[in-house]
Structure 1
Amino acid sequence: MFLKAAVASIPLLGSAVASPLNQPPFKPSDQKVSPARGPSFIFNETSPTVELDFHAESVQAYALQETYDASNWFSKFSVQNIADPTHGFVNYVNQATAQSKGLYRTQNNQVYIGVDSSTVLNPNGVGRDSVRLQSNRAYTHGLVIADFAHVPGSNCGSWPAFWMVGPNWPNQGEIDIYEGVHLNTYNQMTLHSSPGCVPVYNQNGGQTGTHVSEADCGAGGGFNGCGVQSNSPTSYGTAFNANGGGVYATLWTSSGIKVWYFAARDVPANIRSGNPDPNTWGTPQANFAGCNFDAKFSNMNIIFDITFCGDWAGGVWGSTSCASINPSCNAYVAQQPQSFGDSYWLVNSVKVYSV
């Protein structure tokens, strides 16, 4: 397993003590790119890798390669019982423990992935029980459409993410599709790579989000990354849930990586019908172009996790309103289990398409 160091150079996600709906939005100048999560990948040499090659978007027809849902989820994702490479106050439990404690289950044809929200802990202990998942199948290129009924709420101390990563990090890259910390209301989409990937954001139709971080996705040896902050106040956490959930769609081709967010009521009909057509979706939230993506991103697995504190959430704790509740991120997470009752994913499906 790869381990990564804390990124000290980076300044500055529901029953939180303070509701994010009552917090002022993070400004791009306040929002800092997340530290990389990639070295946490566990590579299984027997895992299949799927090459999903793309040509011109305008002439593509997308074929369904994989559906992950309640009918097959447990056989297609592996639970990662590992120490958190982002140094969080978290205890990633094994599958048997996760299921026996109700942290990982199916319900109403949906997949629930959550954390312990009842146990008061020692701040110097191993951390709060949580579940971390990795898809058994890896991909190079693809249209990944994730349909969420619920995402982890915007809570002090929490750091959830839905992302993709290659085994040889940072050389095979990392795509953070959904990620944030504490009381954020705006999702952040970030690429991490080896040095030399410097995207442009005004090509191929532009983007609605705001570039908020490094120019080079490989800055700091890949730890810093290059991020785009969503412009939608319902794109993340508690506000996302209050708005009825939604869909994140990520198109990864040789020419770029694009991410769209749709609130549940706005999901395009061609996504609902299983015939997705990104050309009809309008301007994406994030649009990374102008890099040699085939050289920097490949052989990626899908990851779900919820950690606490650690390199990013812990690193910026003192600059947030959360610090007025408790000066220590670990102590807050340890002593306030009730704050994490809505720290869970409820997934309708994740679908991966190719040409």
Structure 2
Amino acid sequence: MSFKALIVSLPLVWRCATALPAGPGFWPNGTSSDTSDVQIAAAYGLIDTYDGSNWLSKFDVQAIADPTHGFVEYVNAQQAQQLGLLKTQGNQVYMGVDTTSVLNPNGPGRKSVRLQSKAAYNRALIIADFAHVPGSNCGSWPAFWMVGPNWPNQGELDIYEGVHLNTYNQITLHSSPGCTPSVGPGGETGRRVANADCGAGGGYDGCGVMSNSPTSYGTAFNANGGGVYASLWTSSGIKVWYFASRDVPGNIRSGNPDPNSWGTPVANFAGCDFNAKFRDMSIVFDITFCGDWAGKVWGSTTCSQINPSCNAYVASQPQSFADSYWLVNSIKVYNV
């Protein structure tokens, strides 16, 4: 896939912003997604578990140029492990960034990791259990998301994403033009932001839902004890729930998830041809800095009072990113 420049015609307003895509997926040599691990089973049958026992064998570490033009240097798997940016802690997985180097703001950027699952999925229930997510820090733009190989024609679902000092998560769909989701039956607790059409701006703008929970993202999420994001992707819609750790339903903990018992989701997208617009999506983690979203809105945040340049701030403040890391208990993928 080519990484042509993302076109942004207008400055984006922080927090209620059009969420730029976390970035097209990276498919080496034009290859398609690997679906060899996907098995057909009963409703909500477990397909895959990702945890400290198998993480490095089930993800590709992508030492690529950032498709979203961030001030970041994604390192390869060997470098990531040597630098301590990717490691297991017991059965948990740590993915972080360089927190010691003072950099040239015109240089390659802060070292970080970007991982994409080798397996891809078509309609699934994805349950991600986080002990810690990247903190709410000026300049940072972390994301946990899914993407198809032919972006935007095979779609993108940003499950967890935000920038700078935000504590409210934003869930966003990116697609080819013509997917204009309604709110599905039962409603949603979040509020719609940005565009009605998930294909707006050629897919770059997307259609989003901002969580109404002030502990759904970043530092506040961590202070609240971590938690779970559960995403149900079916032919008729995409729903995303957030649960603080103490509120995670027992049927998730027991490995017998029942979304019908979880109450109103944060986001409830319906009324689009989800089979056509979202296909063969893999799981991606990354932490970038500045770039096409965080960089564009820098001037509208209090962060710009510290330094007028996002890149310069990130370059000069390594200690500010000590909590810019993921600590993942597990990701479980169930068929639907």
- What TM-score results when the alignment is normalised by the length of structure 2? 0.96
Task: Give yes or no for contact 1:4–1:39 (8 Å, CA) kept in 2.
Answer: no
Alignment of 1:102-251 (within 5 A): 102-201=84-183, 203-251=184-232
Are residues 32 and 52 of structure 1, via their aligned partners in 2, closer, same or farther at CA, if it must alter by over 3 Å?
farther
Which letter maps to 1:190? Answer: T
Unaligned runs of 5+ in 1: 13-27, 55-59
Are 1:47 and 2:25 counterparts?
no
Which letter maps to 2:16? Answer: Q
Are residues 167 and 287 of structure 1, via their aligned partners in 2, closer, same or farther at CA, if it must alter by over 3 Å?
same
What are the superposed Cα offsets for residues 256-303 of structure 1, whole Å, 9 maximum, x if unpaired? 000000000000000000000000000000000000100100000000
Task: Give yes or no for contact 2:228–2:245 (8 Å, CA) kept in 1.
Answer: yes
Which letter maps to 2:306? Answer: I
How far off its partner does 1:3 sit?
Answer: 1.3
2:194 counterpart SS class:
coil
Aligned length: 334
Alignment of 1:248-263 (within 5 A): 248-263=229-244
Q: Matches of 1:7 and 1:145 in 2, distance apart?
A: 33
1:274 counterpart SS class:
coil
How far off its partner does 1:50 sit?
Answer: 6.7
Are residues 30 and 91 of structure 1, via their aligned partners in 2, closer, same or farther at CA, if it must alter by over 3 Å?
closer
How far off its partner does 1:109 sit?
Answer: 1.5
1:212 counterpart SS class:
strand
Mean Cα deviation higher: 114-123 or 42-51: 42-51
1:342 counterpart SS class:
coil
Which position in structure 2 is the counterpart of 1:18? none
Which position in structure 2 is the counterpart of 1:304? 285
2:24 counterpart SS class:
helix
What is the RMSD of the two structures over their aligned residues, measured on CA atoms?
Answer: 1.7
Are 1:275 and 2:262 counterparts?
no
Task: Give yes or no for contact 1:90–1:126 (8 Å, CA) kept in 2.
Answer: yes
Are 1:326 and 2:307 counterparts?
yes
Task: Give yes or no for contact 2:38–2:47 (8 Å, CA) kept in 1.
Answer: no
Task: Give yes or no for contact 2:33–2:280 (8 Å, CA) kept in 1.
Answer: no
Are residues 312 and 288 of structure 1, via their aligned partners in 2, closer, same or farther at CA, if it must alter by over 3 Å?
same
What are the superposed Cα offsets for residues 191-218 of structure 1, whole Å, 9 maximum, x if unpaired? 00000000001x3111000001101000
Which letter maps to 2:334? Answer: Y
Are 1:33 and 2:15 counterparts?
no
Q: Matches of 1:311 and 1:181 in 2, distance apart?
A: 11
Are residues 10 and 354 of structure 1, via their aligned partners in 2, closer, same or farther at CA, if it must alter by over 3 Å?
farther
Which letter maps to 2:301? Answer: T
What are the superposed Cα offsets for residues 39-60 of structure 1, whole Å, 9 maximum, x if unpaired? 2422544722677889xxxxx8
Sequence identity (%): 72
Task: Give yes or no for contact 1:144–1:249 (8 Å, CA) kept in 2.
Answer: yes
Task: Give yes or no for contact 2:32–2:149 (8 Å, CA) kept in 1.
Answer: no
2:159 counterpart SS class:
strand
1:176 counterpart SS class:
strand
Task: Give yes or no for contact 2:33–2:149 (8 Å, CA) kept in 1.
Answer: no
Which position in structure 2 is the counterpart of 1:341? 322
1:311 counterpart SS class:
helix
Q: Matches of 2:39 and 2:257 in 1, distance apart?
A: 15
Unaligned runs of 5+ in 2: none
How far off its partner does 1:34 sit?
Answer: 1.4
Which letter maps to 1:71? Answer: S
Are 1:9 and 2:26 counterparts?
no
- What TM-score results when the alignment is normalised by the length of structure 1? 0.91
1:137 counterpart SS class:
strand
Are 1:78 and 2:78 counterparts?
no
Are residues 217 and 261 of structure 1, via their aligned partners in 2, closer, same or farther at CA, if it must alter by over 3 Å?
same
Q: Matches of 2:191 and 2:37 in 1, distance apart?
A: 32
Which letter maps to 2:17? Answer: K
Q: Matches of 2:261 and 2:211 in 1, distance apart?
A: 20
2:256 counterpart SS class:
coil
Are residues 258 and 121 of structure 1, via their aligned partners in 2, closer, same or farther at CA, if it must alter by over 3 Å?
same
Are residues 307 and 107 of structure 1, via their aligned partners in 2, closer, same or farther at CA, if it must alter by over 3 Å?
same
